[in-house]
Amino acid sequence: MLIRPLLSTHRLFILIVLLCLQITAGAIPAGKKDSVITMPFGENNMILYSLTTGTYDVVFNGRKTITGAYAVCKGKTEMTSTGDAVRTCTFSTRTVHDRVARYEITTERNGLRMQQVFNLYGSKNYFLTTMSVIGREVAANYMSPLITENVVFDEKGDNRALYVPFDNDMWARFNAHPLQQANFTGSEVTAIYNNDTYKGMVIGSVVQNAWKTGVAVKANGKHSFSVSAYGGFADSNITHDKIPHGLVTTTDSTCDSPMMMVGMFADWRNGMEQYAGNNRWQGTPGYWKKGTPVGWNSWGAIQNKITLDKAKCVIGFFADSCKGFRNSRGELYIDLDSFWDNMVKGGLNGDVSELKQFVAYCKSKGFKPGIYWAPFTDWGKHDCKMEGSNYTYAQAWLKQNGKPVEVDGAYALDATHPGTKARIAFFLGRMKALGFKMIKIDFLGHGALECDRFYDSTVTTGMQAYHMGMKSVTKALDNKMLVYAAISPTMATAPYVHMRRIACDAFSAIDNTEYTLNSTGYGWWQSHLYNFVDADHVVFNRESEGANRARLASALVTGTLITGDDFGTPGPWSNVAKHLLQNKALLNVIKDGRSFRPVEANTGNKGVELFVKTGYYEVYFAAFNFSNVPRTFTLPLSRLTSQLGPVITAIDLLDNTSDKWGDTIKITIPPADARIYLLKPDLMHAK
């Protein structure tokens, strides 16, 4: 076709778009001469897709890493990308612009179409892949765009495979398995990495709007393993489901799998942070523009004995005796946890005068009042009217195998039920009207459970129900509070809250600190998914000086600081708080709200001991000893930083001493203790 010298603006625009898309297509029937589609991305990486076999290989940095990967769908119908001669395979390519290419591979068999999609980035060493099945009765409860029996990771040294739990309930732990012993199914994401070189692969779901994703890893030998990354993960221990995952249909004739990210990184920690960032595009209630949250929560020590008088005494302590404990904007949150209803007579429609007094007294001292609630639980477990509605609790109970589901001692509520939604609007509306500025929402995983049949018939999976329920929470709060998630699904909660607890109910003992730092050490990347993650209430109680330092430091490396002692009652914890919580140098550590990274991520299911955080102008290093004997760490300075020069000054922020460190660092941490250092260039050796 000849192009005329003169074109209208509209026609010229269409022509430019067509030229930019560069659409190509091809087809080959199975059983014919092999045709391999090459899809380049990043630096010397490519996917090699065989239209004949329906499998693909992935080359990272010039080396074939994944071999024979394929896609599978199971449900009302079953289909696989591999197969026999009765299939036809076609492909098309669209270059959206010079940095993003989209490849679509379509396999047709027996009236069904499977479409595999690969989104590739010219400057990124990862790709995104998903799949769809199109046809009649394609509802599925298992879909995987990536199954392979052979992934090679043969770095010399300490190779690990990371198990990630679904949530932070029941003291769940991460586990950095030795790769040659790996045999697990984790939730949403895994990392295969070398602890010595940091090189590693990340495989994980990017969208959690319908599916719970499982990532199964099983060692085949010293350097190879199989992987299945699939939607449809339901497990009685990990996701707390006693029935299979629900069937998913995107439309009447289409079912889409989760989208998976697959990448290789020079530093797996960068890869996990990239993974978190790729998930964050789904949005949050709004980027938190205020300071890093610091404050106090009543569950740390007072728990079910909370009263107005006790709460006022705690407020008085921070107002009069601990004036330096504030964030960078001078803010402090005072949060009433469970049993705040000790201050209420007749429910939130009854006498709430004491709650009003608490809010007023808190604000009179310049503090922000917080409260607690669990939107998807019924702790009473008896049939009575739901607040704010004409429904009863029994009508809204979520059921599996015909019976109400009990987790953590509470019945789960169907998040799609109008009674549940009305109850959410009632409670959160009243809490807003009372003047609370923060809310800790808990036991959110109850809303993500699979169900025999949801009230809303368009909802068929626990994750779909969870998003519907959390949207009800978000609508009711109307962005009027700092939203803090406690027990909750790790990934799917991110679009709805500002802050998430990294672990579950840690108090004062050193083993509580160790447990917390298992989650922070292997889940630090969540601070790139949420505005903040939190180490739970820091309780000093009557612990040793070292254990108190470690408990505080565990919060600082996680990124925020919520304390929890009964500061209305005199005790040794008050003096510890005055000394540690008012240390400006320590409070500066959390000014940016970011978690530290692990330095050595080879502790299995135990807490990480060494952490580092690099900011714009400073480097922080933290070391922990969870044992009852001294612990000596020796490591090269290059494991922490290369930007400060060959000799640095290390300032111990817990005792305000300093030391000179050269190429090799050697420090000894006393039993059940910790150190946290600010690292600066040594001026005598600066260039």
| Residue-wise pLDDT tens digits, 100-115 | 899 999 999 888 999 9
Say which residues have a Cβ less than 8 Å from residue 532's Cβ, sequence separation at least 6: 288, 292, 293, 498, 499, 500, 559, 560, 593
Do the Cβ atoms of 75 and 89 come closer than 8 Å?
A: no
Asked if residue 581 lies in contact with residue 325, where contact means CB atoms within 8 angstroms, the answer is yes
Mean pLDDT value across the chain: 92
Mean pLDDT of 13-29: 39
Q: Which of 71-85, 183-197, 338-352, 579-593 has the lowest mean pLDDT?
A: 71-85
3-state secondary structure of 291: coil
DSSP structure class, residue 299: G
Enclosing H/E stretch for 485: strand 482-485
User: What contacts 375, CB < 8 A, 6 or more positions away?
Assistant: 413, 415, 420, 423, 424, 427, 428, 441, 444, 447, 469, 472, 473
Listed residue (602, 658, 605, 604) closest to 635, CA to CA: 602
Separation CA 350–CA 266 (nearest Å): 60
For residue 285, pLDDT over 80 is answered with no
Q: What is the pLDDT of residue 377?
A: 98
- Residue 22 clears pLDDT 50, i.e. is over it: no
Distance of CA 502 to the CA centre of its chain: 9
Q: How far apart are CA 394 and CA 405, in angstroms?
A: 12
pLDDT digits (tens, 9 = 90+) for 563-600: 999 999 999 999 999 999 999 999 999 999 999 999 99
Buried b / exposed e along 470-503 (16+ C-beta atoms within 10 A): bebbbebbeeebbbbbbbbbbbbbbbbbbbbbbb
- Range 465-480 average pLDDT: 96
Confidence of residue 23 (pLDDT cuts 50, 70, 90): very low
* Cβ–Cβ under 8 Å, residues 30 and 106: no
Instruction: Indicate if the pLDDT at residue 553 is higher than 80.
Output: yes
Length of the chain: 687
**Domains in the chain, ordered, with CATH?**
26-280 (2.70.98.10), 294-501 (3.20.20.70)
pLDDT exceeds cutoff 60 at 522: yes
| 6, pLDDT greater than 50 | no
Dump the DSSP string for 414-446: -TTSHHHHHHHHHHHHHHHHHT--EEEE--GGG
Judge whether residue 659 has pLDDT over 70.
Answer: yes
Does pLDDT of 317 surpass 70?
A: yes
Residue 283 has pLDDT above 60, yes or no: no
- The whole-number average pLDDT for the span 65-86 is 89
**For residue 601, what are the CA distances in angstroms to 268, 294, 323, 427?**
11, 28, 37, 42
Longest Cα–Cα distance in the chain: 90
Within 10 A of 308 (CB to CB), how many other CB atoms are there? Answer: 17
In this predicted model, what pLDDT tens digit does every residue of 125-180 receive, in sequence order?
999 999 999 999 899 999 999 999 999 999 999 999 999 999 999 999 999 999 99
Bridge-based pairing of strands 100-109 and 112-121 is antiparallel
Residue 518 CB partners (closer than 8 Å, separation 6+): 173, 174, 503, 603, 605, 606, 607, 608
Nearest of 552, 555, 556, 535 to residue 543 by alpha carbon: 552
Half-sphere exposure at residue 357, Cβ-oriented, CA atoms within 13 angstroms: 13
The per-residue DSSP string of 490-522 comes to: TTTTGGG-SEEESSS---SSHHHHHHHHHHHHH
Please give the pLDDT value at position 72: 97
CA-closest candidate to residue 485, choices 526, 540, 522, 451: 526
Q: What are the residue ranges of helices labelled H in 365-495?
A: 393-396, 418-434, 462-477
Q: What is the pLDDT of residues 598-638, one digit of tens each?
A: 999 999 999 999 999 998 778 999 999 999 999 999 999 99
| DSSP-assigned states of every residue in 5-43 | S---HHHHHHHHHHHHH--EEEEEETTSS--EEEEEETT
DSSP 226-241: EEEEEE----TTTT--
Question: Tens of pLDDT along 642-656?
Answer: 887 888 999 999 999
**Could you say which DSSP state residue 255 is in?**
E
Q: How far is CA 251 from CA 92, 138, 248, in A?
A: 23, 10, 9
pLDDT at 65 over 90: yes
What percentage of the chain exceeds 90 in pLDDT? 86
Q: What is the pLDDT of residues 236-258, one digit of tens each?
A: 999 999 999 999 998 889 999 99
pLDDT digits (tens, 9 = 90+) for 378-435: 999 999 999 999 999 999 999 999 999 999 999 999 999 999 999 999 999 999 999 9
CA pair distance 126, 202, nearest whole angstrom = 9
- Rounded to whole angstroms, how far apart are CA atoms 98 and 479? 38
Q: Which phi and psi (to 5°) does residue 14 adopt?
A: -60, -40
Concatenate the DSSP letters of all residues of 615-681 into one string. -SS-EEEEEEE-SSS-EEEEEEGGGT-SSS-SSEEEEETTTTEEEEE-SEEEEEEPTTEEEEEEEEE
Tell me which amino acid residue 15 is.
L
Cα angle 237-231-456, degrees, rounded to a multiple of 5: 85
Angle between helix 353-364 and 418-434 (nearest 10): 50
Model confidence over 319-334: pLDDT tens digits? 999 999 999 999 999 9
213 Cβ contact partners less than 8 Å away, ≥ 6 residues apart: 187, 188, 204, 205, 229, 230, 231, 233, 258, 260
Q: Do 174 and 519 touch, CB atoms closer than 8 A?
A: yes
Q: CA–CA separation, 5 vs 11, rounded Å?
A: 12
